[in-house]
Amino acid sequence: MLTLLSKILNTILPERDNHKAVRKLSRLIATPTIINLNGFTVHCLLEFRSSDIRAVIHEAKFYDNLKAQELLGQVLHNFLQTHADAYDLVIPLPLSTKRFKERGYNQMERILKQAGIDFNSQLMKRDDRPSQTSLTREERLENVTGAFSIAIEKAPVIAGQRILLIDDVATTGATLRAAKAALLPHQPAAITYLALAH
């Protein structure tokens, strides 16, 4: 009976290819690298060129897929275990209010929770801007300039701290650069940039 019901549901609502790919994965193999994006150093854990990695990122980001978030959380957990004393403050890049309302969650917060990592999602805010995904490199740089701000009442938390700023995918580094510009006036001791994939 259950098999028949599954077949009927799959006919009406076919399973996404990315969902199928994630369902078959038991773990991800990290390939930590340090890359230079337009003069900007970014630590990356996974290769976005891999179809499995793309599937996991898309499912975690756009479909709130728990297994995808768990897989990415495990990779992040393993990386941060070996760098546990290097950072005082972990900040996931925020979504704009509009994007958060549309999606209902910030995928990086969900992934950090799966990784068992303490983080602060209240320090930084992001203005509503067009999505970066459909923009050219130059448009991305312009689109995120000035997009981030720090909550004034929270700003004293930043001074002297070694900050790890985390995003899911780094393409041009424009988003991380804009976030850095918002943090620097508050005098952190250091800012390290980590992307799950590039």
Q: Where are the domains of the chain?
A: 30-197
Tokens describing residue 164: 């790890």
pLDDT score for 40: 85
Radius of gyration of the chain from its Cα atoms, rounded to whole angstroms: 18
Enumerate residue ranges in the chain where pLDDT < 70: 1-11, 132-134, 137, 140-141
**Per-residue pLDDT tens for 82-105?**
887 899 999 999 999 999 999 999
Q: The whole model's pTM is what? A: 0.88
Bridge-based pairing of strands 41-46 and 33-36 is: antiparallel
Q: Is 3.40.50 the CATH number for 30-197?
A: yes
* Distance (Å, whole) CA 136 – CA 188: 31
pLDDT score for 145: 83
Listed in order, strand segments (DSSP E) in the chain are: 33-36, 41-46, 89-92, 124-126, 148-150, 162-169, 190-197
